[in-house]
Amino acid sequence: MFFKFVNAVLVCFCLFEQVSGQNLVKGVVYHDLNKNGKREISEPGLPNVAVSNGVEVVLTNHEGFYELPVQEGMVIFVIKPSGYALPLDERAISQHFYLHFPQGSPETDVPGIAPTGELPASLDFGVWAQLEEDVFEVLLFGDPQARGLKEVNYISHDVVEECMGTSAEFGIVLGDIVADDPALFEEVSESLAQIGIPWYYTFGNHDHNRDVSSDKDRDGTFKRFFGPSSYALEYGEASFIVMRDVHFDENGKYRSEYNSNQLTFLEEYLRYVPQDKLVVLVQHIPLPRTSGKERLFELLGSRPNTLSISGHTHTMQHLFLGEEYGWHGLTPHHHFINSTVSGSWWCGLKDETGIPHATMNDGAPNGYSILKVNGSSYEIEFKAARRPESYQMNIFLPEDISAKVLPETEVLVNVFSGSEKSIVEMKVDDSGEWISLKLDPQPDPFNQWMHGLGDFLELELEDGRRADQALGWKMDDPRPSSHIWAGYLPQNLSKGTHQLTVRTKDMFGKEYTSYRIFRVR
Protein backbone atom coordinates (compact mmCIF):
# COMPACT_ATOMS: atom_id res chain seq x y z
CA MET A 1 0.00 0.00 0.00
CA PHE A 2 2.82 2.35 0.91
CA PHE A 3 4.55 1.74 -2.42
CA LYS A 4 1.30 2.41 -4.34
CA PHE A 5 1.01 5.74 -2.50
CA VAL A 6 4.60 6.67 -3.34
CA ASN A 7 4.09 5.72 -6.98
CA ALA A 8 0.93 7.82 -7.13
CA VAL A 9 2.79 10.80 -5.68
CA LEU A 10 5.61 10.35 -8.20
CA VAL A 11 3.14 10.17 -11.09
CA CYS A 12 1.40 13.32 -9.90
CA PHE A 13 4.74 15.06 -9.49
CA CYS A 14 5.78 14.08 -13.01
CA LEU A 15 2.47 15.29 -14.41
CA PHE A 16 2.88 18.55 -12.51
CA GLU A 17 6.38 18.97 -13.90
CA GLN A 18 5.09 18.29 -17.42
CA VAL A 19 2.25 20.80 -17.16
CA SER A 20 4.37 23.45 -15.47
CA GLY A 21 7.14 22.87 -18.00
CA GLN A 22 4.69 23.85 -20.75
CA ASN A 23 4.15 27.15 -18.94
CA LEU A 24 7.83 27.99 -18.65
CA VAL A 25 10.34 29.10 -21.25
CA LYS A 26 14.02 28.48 -20.51
CA GLY A 27 17.18 29.34 -22.30
CA VAL A 28 20.53 31.07 -22.39
CA VAL A 29 21.75 34.45 -23.57
CA TYR A 30 25.24 33.73 -24.89
CA HIS A 31 28.18 35.47 -26.53
CA ASP A 32 27.92 34.44 -30.18
CA LEU A 33 31.63 34.72 -30.89
CA ASN A 34 31.40 33.56 -34.50
CA LYS A 35 28.05 35.31 -35.15
CA ASN A 36 26.46 32.25 -36.72
CA GLY A 37 23.32 32.18 -34.59
CA LYS A 38 24.13 28.81 -33.03
CA ARG A 39 25.61 28.29 -29.61
CA GLU A 40 28.95 26.46 -29.68
CA ILE A 41 30.54 24.74 -26.69
CA SER A 42 33.15 27.48 -26.49
CA GLU A 43 30.60 30.33 -26.39
CA PRO A 44 29.90 31.44 -22.82
CA GLY A 45 26.59 32.54 -21.36
CA LEU A 46 26.28 36.20 -20.43
CA PRO A 47 25.17 37.17 -16.91
CA ASN A 48 22.85 40.03 -15.92
CA VAL A 49 21.13 40.38 -19.30
CA ALA A 50 17.42 41.28 -19.11
CA VAL A 51 14.93 38.94 -20.79
CA SER A 52 11.15 39.50 -20.83
CA ASN A 53 7.85 37.95 -21.86
CA GLY A 54 6.32 41.41 -22.21
CA VAL A 55 5.20 41.44 -18.57
CA GLU A 56 7.86 39.93 -16.28
CA VAL A 57 11.54 40.81 -16.67
CA VAL A 58 14.36 38.64 -15.31
CA LEU A 59 18.14 38.82 -15.41
CA THR A 60 20.24 35.91 -16.61
CA ASN A 61 22.32 34.17 -13.93
CA HIS A 62 26.11 33.81 -13.90
CA GLU A 63 25.87 31.19 -16.69
CA GLY A 64 23.53 33.25 -18.87
CA PHE A 65 20.50 31.13 -17.97
CA TYR A 66 16.98 32.57 -17.66
CA GLU A 67 13.51 31.19 -16.99
CA LEU A 68 10.16 32.91 -17.50
CA PRO A 69 6.47 32.01 -17.37
CA VAL A 70 4.91 31.98 -20.81
CA GLN A 71 1.44 31.92 -22.30
CA GLU A 72 0.24 31.56 -25.86
CA GLY A 73 0.40 34.92 -27.64
CA MET A 74 3.43 36.20 -25.74
CA VAL A 75 6.66 37.41 -27.33
CA ILE A 76 9.86 36.41 -25.54
CA PHE A 77 12.66 38.88 -26.12
CA VAL A 78 16.08 39.84 -24.90
CA ILE A 79 16.68 43.48 -24.00
CA LYS A 80 19.80 44.49 -25.89
CA PRO A 81 22.54 45.13 -23.31
CA SER A 82 24.98 48.01 -23.70
CA GLY A 83 28.17 46.94 -25.42
CA TYR A 84 26.53 44.14 -27.41
CA ALA A 85 24.97 43.86 -30.87
CA LEU A 86 21.88 41.90 -31.88
CA PRO A 87 21.63 39.86 -35.08
CA LEU A 88 19.75 41.63 -37.90
CA ASP A 89 17.66 40.30 -40.74
CA GLU A 90 17.91 41.54 -44.34
CA ARG A 91 15.71 44.54 -43.43
CA ALA A 92 18.04 45.66 -40.63
CA ILE A 93 15.50 44.57 -37.99
CA SER A 94 16.97 43.01 -34.85
CA GLN A 95 16.18 39.35 -34.28
CA HIS A 96 16.00 39.58 -30.50
CA PHE A 97 12.62 37.89 -30.07
CA TYR A 98 10.63 34.67 -30.31
CA LEU A 99 6.91 34.71 -31.16
CA HIS A 100 5.07 32.12 -29.04
CA PHE A 101 1.94 31.56 -31.11
CA PRO A 102 1.48 27.75 -31.25
CA GLN A 103 -1.77 28.15 -33.23
CA GLY A 104 -0.71 31.32 -35.04
CA SER A 105 -2.49 34.67 -34.95
CA PRO A 106 -6.03 35.06 -36.36
CA GLU A 107 -6.33 34.95 -40.13
CA THR A 108 -6.19 38.42 -41.67
CA ASP A 109 -6.08 39.90 -45.18
CA VAL A 110 -2.41 40.71 -44.64
CA PRO A 111 -0.95 37.59 -43.01
CA GLY A 112 0.00 37.75 -39.36
CA ILE A 113 1.93 35.08 -37.46
CA ALA A 114 2.08 31.51 -38.72
CA PRO A 115 1.75 28.71 -36.12
CA THR A 116 5.01 28.42 -34.20
CA GLY A 117 4.34 25.00 -32.64
CA GLU A 118 5.82 23.91 -29.34
CA LEU A 119 8.45 25.89 -27.51
CA PRO A 120 12.03 24.79 -28.12
CA ALA A 121 13.64 22.93 -25.23
CA SER A 122 16.07 25.82 -24.84
CA LEU A 123 15.23 29.23 -26.31
CA ASP A 124 18.66 30.83 -26.68
CA PHE A 125 19.60 34.32 -27.80
CA GLY A 126 23.04 35.06 -29.24
CA VAL A 127 24.62 38.52 -29.05
CA TRP A 128 28.17 39.69 -29.66
CA ALA A 129 30.39 42.41 -28.27
CA GLN A 130 30.64 45.75 -30.04
CA LEU A 131 32.27 49.06 -29.16
CA GLU A 132 29.70 51.59 -27.94
CA GLU A 133 30.67 55.13 -27.08
CA ASP A 134 28.71 57.18 -24.55
CA VAL A 135 28.35 59.84 -27.26
CA PHE A 136 26.16 58.67 -30.15
CA GLU A 137 23.32 59.64 -32.47
CA VAL A 138 19.89 58.15 -33.22
CA LEU A 139 17.70 58.92 -36.25
CA LEU A 140 14.04 59.63 -35.37
CA PHE A 141 11.58 59.05 -38.24
CA GLY A 142 7.99 60.01 -37.47
CA ASP A 143 5.03 58.77 -39.53
CA PRO A 144 6.44 57.71 -42.93
CA GLN A 145 2.79 56.75 -43.58
CA ALA A 146 3.06 55.39 -47.10
CA ARG A 147 -0.08 54.95 -49.23
CA GLY A 148 1.10 52.60 -51.94
CA LEU A 149 4.46 52.06 -53.58
CA LYS A 150 4.52 55.60 -55.00
CA GLU A 151 4.79 56.99 -51.48
CA VAL A 152 7.30 54.31 -50.47
CA ASN A 153 9.40 55.81 -53.26
CA TYR A 154 8.84 59.29 -51.80
CA ILE A 155 10.30 58.02 -48.53
CA SER A 156 13.29 56.57 -50.36
CA HIS A 157 14.10 59.69 -52.37
CA ASP A 158 13.13 62.32 -49.80
CA VAL A 159 14.89 61.08 -46.66
CA VAL A 160 16.52 57.66 -47.07
CA GLU A 161 18.98 58.64 -49.78
CA GLU A 162 20.28 61.65 -47.89
CA CYS A 163 20.73 59.59 -44.69
CA MET A 164 22.94 56.97 -46.31
CA GLY A 165 26.36 57.28 -44.72
CA THR A 166 24.87 58.70 -41.51
CA SER A 167 26.93 58.64 -38.32
CA ALA A 168 23.84 57.53 -36.34
CA GLU A 169 24.15 54.17 -34.59
CA PHE A 170 20.52 53.17 -35.13
CA GLY A 171 17.12 54.56 -36.03
CA ILE A 172 13.63 54.46 -34.52
CA VAL A 173 10.40 54.80 -36.51
CA LEU A 174 7.79 56.44 -34.30
CA GLY A 175 4.73 54.67 -35.69
CA ASP A 176 2.37 55.01 -38.65
CA ILE A 177 4.90 53.22 -40.78
CA VAL A 178 2.16 52.85 -43.38
CA ALA A 179 -1.30 54.28 -43.98
CA ASP A 180 -3.62 51.38 -43.08
CA ASP A 181 -1.80 48.88 -45.31
CA PRO A 182 0.49 46.51 -43.38
CA ALA A 183 1.27 44.82 -46.71
CA LEU A 184 3.73 47.70 -47.24
CA PHE A 185 5.78 46.92 -44.11
CA GLU A 186 8.14 44.93 -46.29
CA GLU A 187 8.83 47.67 -48.82
CA VAL A 188 9.16 50.47 -46.25
CA SER A 189 11.56 48.48 -44.05
CA GLU A 190 13.56 47.36 -47.09
CA SER A 191 13.98 50.99 -48.07
CA LEU A 192 15.05 52.13 -44.59
CA ALA A 193 17.52 49.24 -44.41
CA GLN A 194 19.48 50.87 -47.23
CA ILE A 195 20.69 53.50 -44.74
CA GLY A 196 22.89 50.78 -43.24
CA ILE A 197 21.98 50.96 -39.55
CA PRO A 198 19.68 48.86 -37.31
CA TRP A 199 16.06 50.01 -37.19
CA TYR A 200 13.52 49.71 -34.39
CA TYR A 201 9.80 50.24 -34.97
CA THR A 202 6.87 51.65 -32.99
CA PHE A 203 3.27 50.55 -33.48
CA GLY A 204 0.98 53.34 -34.74
CA ASN A 205 -2.76 53.70 -35.23
CA HIS A 206 -2.37 53.19 -39.01
CA ASP A 207 -0.26 50.03 -38.63
CA HIS A 208 -2.97 47.66 -37.41
CA ASN A 209 -4.86 44.77 -38.96
CA ARG A 210 -8.27 46.24 -39.65
CA ASP A 211 -10.07 42.92 -40.14
CA VAL A 212 -9.89 41.71 -36.53
CA SER A 213 -11.88 43.09 -33.62
CA SER A 214 -9.73 42.11 -30.63
CA ASP A 215 -7.17 44.66 -29.52
CA LYS A 216 -4.58 41.98 -28.74
CA ASP A 217 -4.72 40.77 -32.35
CA ARG A 218 -4.46 44.17 -34.03
CA ASP A 219 -0.65 44.07 -34.20
CA GLY A 220 -0.31 40.56 -35.65
CA THR A 221 1.38 41.62 -38.90
CA PHE A 222 3.45 44.21 -37.04
CA LYS A 223 4.81 41.50 -34.74
CA ARG A 224 5.59 39.21 -37.67
CA PHE A 225 7.80 41.89 -39.19
CA PHE A 226 9.17 43.80 -36.22
CA GLY A 227 8.75 41.67 -33.10
CA PRO A 228 7.24 42.82 -29.79
CA SER A 229 5.25 46.05 -29.87
CA SER A 230 6.50 46.98 -26.37
CA TYR A 231 10.18 46.37 -25.67
CA ALA A 232 13.43 48.00 -24.60
CA LEU A 233 17.05 48.28 -25.67
CA GLU A 234 20.21 49.76 -24.19
CA TYR A 235 23.02 51.61 -25.91
CA GLY A 236 25.93 53.37 -24.24
CA GLU A 237 24.66 55.01 -21.07
CA ALA A 238 21.06 55.26 -22.30
CA SER A 239 18.03 53.01 -22.04
CA PHE A 240 15.27 53.20 -24.67
CA ILE A 241 11.77 51.89 -23.90
CA VAL A 242 9.40 51.58 -26.87
CA MET A 243 5.74 51.30 -25.88
CA ARG A 244 2.66 50.31 -27.84
CA ASP A 245 0.37 53.06 -26.57
CA VAL A 246 -2.21 52.63 -29.36
CA HIS A 247 -5.10 50.34 -28.42
CA PHE A 248 -8.44 49.70 -30.13
CA ASP A 249 -12.00 48.98 -29.09
CA GLU A 250 -14.13 46.43 -30.94
CA ASN A 251 -15.35 49.09 -33.37
CA GLY A 252 -11.83 50.05 -34.40
CA LYS A 253 -11.69 53.32 -32.50
CA TYR A 254 -8.23 53.87 -31.06
CA ARG A 255 -6.97 55.49 -27.86
CA SER A 256 -3.60 56.09 -26.23
CA GLU A 257 -3.10 54.11 -23.04
CA TYR A 258 -0.85 51.66 -21.21
CA ASN A 259 -2.53 48.43 -20.14
CA SER A 260 -1.72 46.60 -16.90
CA ASN A 261 0.77 44.24 -18.57
CA GLN A 262 2.69 47.14 -20.07
CA LEU A 263 2.83 48.99 -16.74
CA THR A 264 4.12 45.83 -15.06
CA PHE A 265 6.77 45.50 -17.77
CA LEU A 266 7.83 49.11 -17.20
CA GLU A 267 8.07 48.66 -13.46
CA GLU A 268 9.91 45.35 -13.70
CA TYR A 269 12.45 46.61 -16.23
CA LEU A 270 13.14 49.93 -14.50
CA ARG A 271 14.19 48.00 -11.37
CA TYR A 272 17.31 47.02 -13.29
CA VAL A 273 18.06 50.45 -14.79
CA PRO A 274 20.52 52.58 -12.76
CA GLN A 275 18.91 55.69 -11.29
CA ASP A 276 21.17 58.19 -13.07
CA LYS A 277 20.94 56.57 -16.51
CA LEU A 278 19.19 58.43 -19.33
CA VAL A 279 15.78 56.83 -19.92
CA VAL A 280 14.14 57.60 -23.28
CA LEU A 281 10.48 56.59 -23.65
CA VAL A 282 9.19 56.22 -27.23
CA GLN A 283 5.55 55.87 -28.30
CA HIS A 284 3.30 56.98 -31.15
CA ILE A 285 0.69 59.35 -29.68
CA PRO A 286 1.90 62.27 -27.52
CA LEU A 287 2.22 61.42 -23.84
CA PRO A 288 -0.23 64.05 -22.50
CA ARG A 289 -3.04 62.07 -24.18
CA THR A 290 -2.04 58.73 -22.65
CA SER A 291 -4.20 57.01 -20.06
CA GLY A 292 -1.97 55.36 -17.46
CA LYS A 293 0.77 57.97 -17.67
CA GLU A 294 0.34 58.68 -13.96
CA ARG A 295 1.94 55.34 -13.09
CA LEU A 296 4.68 56.01 -15.61
CA PHE A 297 5.33 59.37 -13.98
CA GLU A 298 5.58 57.67 -10.58
CA LEU A 299 8.22 55.32 -11.98
CA LEU A 300 10.21 58.06 -13.71
CA GLY A 301 9.59 61.04 -11.45
CA SER A 302 12.58 60.45 -9.15
CA ARG A 303 14.98 60.00 -12.06
CA PRO A 304 17.06 63.04 -13.05
CA ASN A 305 17.52 62.13 -16.73
CA THR A 306 14.38 61.34 -18.73
CA LEU A 307 12.97 62.17 -22.15
CA SER A 308 9.92 60.99 -24.07
CA ILE A 309 9.30 61.14 -27.81
CA SER A 310 6.23 60.68 -30.01
CA GLY A 311 4.86 61.48 -33.46
CA HIS A 312 1.25 61.26 -34.70
CA THR A 313 0.19 64.94 -34.88
CA HIS A 314 2.07 65.93 -38.07
CA THR A 315 3.33 68.95 -36.19
CA MET A 316 6.50 69.49 -34.18
CA GLN A 317 6.49 70.63 -30.56
CA HIS A 318 8.53 70.59 -27.36
CA LEU A 319 6.36 70.14 -24.27
CA PHE A 320 7.54 70.55 -20.68
CA LEU A 321 5.21 68.57 -18.46
CA GLY A 322 4.75 69.66 -14.87
CA GLU A 323 2.25 69.10 -12.10
CA GLU A 324 -0.68 70.07 -14.31
CA TYR A 325 0.01 66.85 -16.24
CA GLY A 326 0.65 64.76 -13.12
CA TRP A 327 4.44 64.97 -13.27
CA HIS A 328 6.08 65.59 -9.87
CA GLY A 329 9.77 65.43 -10.71
CA LEU A 330 12.25 68.09 -9.61
CA THR A 331 12.13 69.66 -13.08
CA PRO A 332 9.46 69.43 -15.82
CA HIS A 333 9.57 66.35 -18.01
CA HIS A 334 10.57 67.03 -21.64
CA HIS A 335 8.25 65.46 -24.19
CA PHE A 336 9.18 65.96 -27.86
CA ILE A 337 6.61 65.58 -30.64
CA ASN A 338 8.77 64.77 -33.62
CA SER A 339 8.40 65.97 -37.19
CA THR A 340 6.98 63.56 -39.74
CA VAL A 341 8.70 62.04 -42.75
CA SER A 342 5.40 62.27 -44.64
CA GLY A 343 4.87 65.89 -43.55
CA SER A 344 1.17 66.52 -44.13
CA TRP A 345 0.53 62.97 -45.41
CA TRP A 346 2.55 63.57 -48.62
CA CYS A 347 0.14 66.39 -49.58
CA GLY A 348 0.68 69.44 -51.74
CA LEU A 349 2.13 70.36 -55.10
CA LYS A 350 5.02 68.31 -56.42
CA ASP A 351 8.44 69.82 -56.98
CA GLU A 352 10.66 69.39 -60.02
CA THR A 353 11.66 65.88 -58.83
CA GLY A 354 8.06 64.74 -58.48
CA ILE A 355 7.89 64.79 -54.65
CA PRO A 356 5.10 66.78 -52.90
CA HIS A 357 6.26 69.63 -50.68
CA ALA A 358 4.40 67.85 -47.81
CA THR A 359 4.67 70.84 -45.47
CA MET A 360 3.40 69.90 -42.01
CA ASN A 361 0.26 71.54 -40.69
CA ASP A 362 2.25 73.89 -38.44
CA GLY A 363 4.24 75.21 -41.41
CA ALA A 364 7.40 73.22 -40.69
CA PRO A 365 8.85 71.22 -43.59
CA ASN A 366 8.68 67.44 -43.56
CA GLY A 367 11.80 65.75 -42.28
CA TYR A 368 13.25 63.92 -39.30
CA SER A 369 15.27 64.53 -36.14
CA ILE A 370 18.65 63.46 -34.82
CA LEU A 371 18.84 62.59 -31.14
CA LYS A 372 22.38 63.26 -29.93
CA VAL A 373 23.16 61.46 -26.68
CA ASN A 374 26.14 62.33 -24.51
CA GLY A 375 26.21 60.08 -21.46
CA SER A 376 23.06 60.92 -19.54
CA SER A 377 22.39 64.19 -21.41
CA TYR A 378 21.01 64.77 -24.90
CA GLU A 379 20.27 67.24 -27.69
CA ILE A 380 17.69 67.10 -30.48
CA GLU A 381 18.35 68.55 -33.92
CA PHE A 382 15.73 68.88 -36.66
CA LYS A 383 16.64 68.16 -40.28
CA ALA A 384 14.33 69.23 -43.12
CA ALA A 385 14.17 66.68 -45.94
CA ARG A 386 16.58 67.48 -48.80
CA ARG A 387 17.42 70.88 -47.29
CA PRO A 388 20.70 72.07 -45.75
CA GLU A 389 21.17 71.59 -42.01
CA SER A 390 21.05 75.39 -41.61
CA TYR A 391 17.45 75.57 -42.84
CA GLN A 392 15.71 75.94 -39.48
CA MET A 393 13.23 78.80 -39.95
CA ASN A 394 11.07 80.82 -42.33
CA ILE A 395 10.77 84.62 -42.09
CA PHE A 396 7.50 86.26 -43.11
CA LEU A 397 7.79 89.91 -44.16
CA PRO A 398 6.48 91.75 -47.24
CA GLU A 399 9.14 92.34 -49.89
CA ASP A 400 7.98 95.92 -50.51
CA ILE A 401 6.77 98.08 -47.61
CA SER A 402 5.41 101.61 -47.73
CA ALA A 403 7.13 103.93 -45.25
CA LYS A 404 3.65 104.93 -44.06
CA VAL A 405 2.86 101.41 -42.75
CA LEU A 406 6.32 100.63 -41.37
CA PRO A 407 5.28 101.06 -37.71
CA GLU A 408 2.53 98.48 -38.11
CA THR A 409 4.44 95.98 -40.26
CA GLU A 410 4.89 92.77 -38.30
CA VAL A 411 7.70 90.27 -38.70
CA LEU A 412 6.74 86.63 -38.13
CA VAL A 413 9.33 83.87 -37.80
CA ASN A 414 8.56 80.16 -37.78
CA VAL A 415 11.46 78.47 -35.97
CA PHE A 416 10.64 74.90 -36.90
CA SER A 417 12.02 73.15 -33.82
CA GLY A 418 11.72 76.12 -31.48
CA SER A 419 10.28 75.94 -27.99
CA GLU A 420 9.38 78.23 -25.11
CA LYS A 421 13.03 77.95 -24.11
CA SER A 422 14.27 79.36 -27.44
CA ILE A 423 15.63 82.88 -27.82
CA VAL A 424 14.71 84.61 -31.11
CA GLU A 425 16.06 88.04 -32.10
CA MET A 426 16.22 90.21 -35.22
CA LYS A 427 18.06 93.26 -36.48
CA VAL A 428 17.90 95.40 -39.63
CA ASP A 429 21.17 95.93 -41.50
CA ASP A 430 24.60 95.56 -39.95
CA SER A 431 24.30 98.67 -37.81
CA GLY A 432 20.93 97.77 -36.31
CA GLU A 433 20.33 96.74 -32.73
CA TRP A 434 19.10 93.28 -31.82
CA ILE A 435 15.35 93.24 -31.05
CA SER A 436 13.80 90.39 -29.07
CA LEU A 437 10.84 88.66 -30.67
CA LYS A 438 7.91 87.34 -28.67
CA LEU A 439 6.56 83.79 -28.87
CA ASP A 440 3.14 84.17 -30.50
CA PRO A 441 1.55 80.84 -31.56
CA GLN A 442 -0.65 81.15 -34.67
CA PRO A 443 -1.13 79.52 -38.08
CA ASP A 444 1.87 79.72 -40.38
CA PRO A 445 1.33 82.37 -43.13
CA PHE A 446 3.05 80.37 -45.88
CA ASN A 447 0.98 77.33 -44.93
CA GLN A 448 -2.19 79.40 -45.16
CA TRP A 449 -1.13 80.66 -48.59
CA MET A 450 -0.46 77.13 -49.82
CA HIS A 451 -3.78 75.98 -48.39
CA GLY A 452 -5.40 78.68 -50.52
CA LEU A 453 -4.34 76.69 -53.55
CA GLY A 454 -6.96 74.10 -52.59
CA ASP A 455 -9.51 75.56 -55.01
CA PHE A 456 -6.99 75.19 -57.82
CA LEU A 457 -6.28 71.59 -56.84
CA GLU A 458 -9.98 70.78 -57.19
CA LEU A 459 -10.18 72.04 -60.78
CA GLU A 460 -10.98 69.42 -63.40
CA LEU A 461 -8.38 68.94 -66.13
CA GLU A 462 -9.03 68.15 -69.79
CA ASP A 463 -8.30 64.45 -69.25
CA GLY A 464 -11.01 64.24 -66.57
CA ARG A 465 -8.69 64.12 -63.58
CA ARG A 466 -8.73 66.68 -60.81
CA ALA A 467 -5.60 68.82 -60.54
CA ASP A 468 -4.71 67.28 -57.18
CA GLN A 469 -4.60 63.85 -58.80
CA ALA A 470 -2.04 65.14 -61.27
CA LEU A 471 -0.07 67.45 -58.99
CA GLY A 472 -0.61 66.42 -55.39
CA TRP A 473 -3.11 65.67 -52.61
CA LYS A 474 -5.22 68.50 -51.20
CA MET A 475 -3.78 69.73 -47.92
CA ASP A 476 -5.55 69.63 -44.57
CA ASP A 477 -6.45 72.87 -42.86
CA PRO A 478 -3.46 74.63 -41.24
CA ARG A 479 -3.15 74.25 -37.49
CA PRO A 480 -1.79 76.85 -35.06
CA SER A 481 1.97 76.59 -34.83
CA SER A 482 3.52 76.52 -31.36
CA HIS A 483 6.82 77.90 -32.67
CA ILE A 484 6.10 81.28 -34.27
CA TRP A 485 7.69 84.48 -32.96
CA ALA A 486 6.53 88.03 -33.72
CA GLY A 487 7.90 91.57 -33.59
CA TYR A 488 7.84 94.95 -35.37
CA LEU A 489 10.41 96.66 -37.59
CA PRO A 490 12.15 99.84 -36.42
CA GLN A 491 10.21 102.96 -37.42
CA ASN A 492 13.13 105.06 -38.67
CA LEU A 493 14.23 103.00 -41.65
CA SER A 494 15.30 104.92 -44.75
CA LYS A 495 13.87 104.24 -48.18
CA GLY A 496 15.72 101.58 -50.14
CA THR A 497 16.79 97.95 -49.76
CA HIS A 498 17.45 96.48 -46.33
CA GLN A 499 18.63 93.22 -44.85
CA LEU A 500 16.74 91.57 -42.00
CA THR A 501 18.79 89.12 -39.91
CA VAL A 502 17.09 86.69 -37.54
CA ARG A 503 19.04 84.55 -35.11
CA THR A 504 17.82 81.93 -32.66
CA LYS A 505 19.36 79.90 -29.87
CA ASP A 506 17.50 76.73 -28.91
CA MET A 507 17.18 75.00 -25.54
CA PHE A 508 20.41 73.10 -26.21
CA GLY A 509 22.44 76.22 -27.01
CA LYS A 510 22.49 75.57 -30.78
CA GLU A 511 22.40 78.80 -32.82
CA TYR A 512 20.94 79.36 -36.30
CA THR A 513 20.73 82.46 -38.49
CA SER A 514 18.53 83.37 -41.45
CA TYR A 515 18.00 86.45 -43.64
CA ARG A 516 15.32 88.24 -45.63
CA ILE A 517 15.78 91.14 -48.06
CA PHE A 518 13.06 93.81 -48.23
CA ARG A 519 12.54 97.34 -49.58
CA VAL A 520 11.04 100.45 -48.03
CA ARG A 521 9.27 102.70 -50.53
| Average pLDDT rounded to a whole number, residues 51-55 | 98
Distance CA 198, CA 250 (A): 34
| Average pLDDT rounded to a whole number, residues 65-70 | 98
| Average pLDDT rounded to a whole number, residues 425-440 | 95
78 and 125 in contact (C-beta within 8 Å)? Answer: yes
76 and 70 in contact (C-beta within 8 Å)? Answer: yes
**pLDDT at residue 431, as a whole number:** 85
Residues 327 and 475 in one domain: no
Split at pLDDT 50, 70, 90, the class of 13 is very low
Residues 235 and 323 in one domain: yes
Is residue 3 predicted with pLDDT exceeding 50?
no
- According to DSSP, the β-strands at 511-520 and 496-505 are antiparallel
Residue 6 inside a domain? The answer is: yes
**pLDDT at residue 471, as a whole number:** 53
Residues 401 and 375 in one domain: no
Residue that finishes a domain, picked among 365, 384, 403: 384
**pLDDT at residue 469, as a whole number:** 55
Distance CA 360, CA 365 (A): 6
Task: Give 285: exposed, middle or buried? Use CB within 10 Å, 0-12, 13-18, 19+.
Answer: buried
Residue 248 inside a domain? The answer is: yes
Residues 230 and 369 in one domain: yes
Which carries the bigger pLDDT value, residue 334 or residue 431?
Answer: 334
Distance CA 31, CA 103 (A): 32
Residues 280 and 328 in one domain: yes
DSSP labels, 489-513:
--TTPPSEEEEEEEEEE-TTS-EEE
Is residue 16 predicted with pLDDT exceeding 60?
no
Residues 187 and 325 in one domain: yes
Residue that finishes a domain, picked among 73, 99, 125: 73
Residues 224 and 348 in one domain: yes
Residues 216 and 347 in one domain: yes
Domain limits at 488?
A: 393-520
**pLDDT at residue 458, as a whole number:** 64
264 and 55 in contact (C-beta within 8 Å)? Answer: yes
DSSP label at 156? I
Residues 371 and 410 in one domain: no
Which carries the bigger pLDDT value, residue 513 or residue 349?
Answer: 513
Residue that finishes a domain, picked among 342, 365, 384: 384
Residue 302 inside a domain? The answer is: yes
Looking at the structure of the chain, the number of domains it has is 3
Residues 298 and 337 in one domain: yes
Which of 294, 273, 277, 451 minimizes the C-alpha distance to 359?
A: 451
Which carries the bigger pLDDT value, residue 5 or residue 117?
Answer: 117
| Average pLDDT rounded to a whole number, residues 480-489 | 96
**How would you list the strands of the sheet with 367-374, edge to edge?**
199-201, 170-173, 135-141, 367-374, 377-384
**How would you list the strands of the sheet with 231-235, edge to edge?**
231-235, 238-242, 278-282, 306-310, 333-337, 317-321
Task: Compute the half-sphere exposure of residue 410: CA atoms within 13 Å on the CB side of its CA.
Answer: 10
Residue 222's CATH number: 3.60.21.10
Residue 99 inside a domain? The answer is: no
Each residue of 202-259: pLDDT tens digit? 999 999 999 999 999 999 999 999 999 999 999 999 999 999 999 999 999 999 999 9
Split at pLDDT 50, 70, 90, the class of 462 is confident
Residue 470's CATH number: 2.60.40.10
Residues 357 and 249 in one domain: yes
Which of 380, 378, 379, 343 minimizes the C-alpha distance to 364?
A: 343
Residue 151 inside a domain? The answer is: yes
Which carries the bigger pLDDT value, residue 19 or residue 285?
Answer: 285
Each residue of 400-420: pLDDT tens digit? 999 999 989 999 999 999 999
Each residue of 118-127: pLDDT tens digit? 999 999 999 9
Residue 450 inside a domain? The answer is: yes
- Average pLDDT value over all residues in the chain: 92
Each residue of 115-162: pLDDT tens digit? 999 999 999 999 999 999 999 999 999 999 999 999 999 999 999 999
Residues 472 and 332 in one domain: no
**pLDDT at residue 10, as a whole number:** 39
Residue 8 inside a domain? The answer is: yes
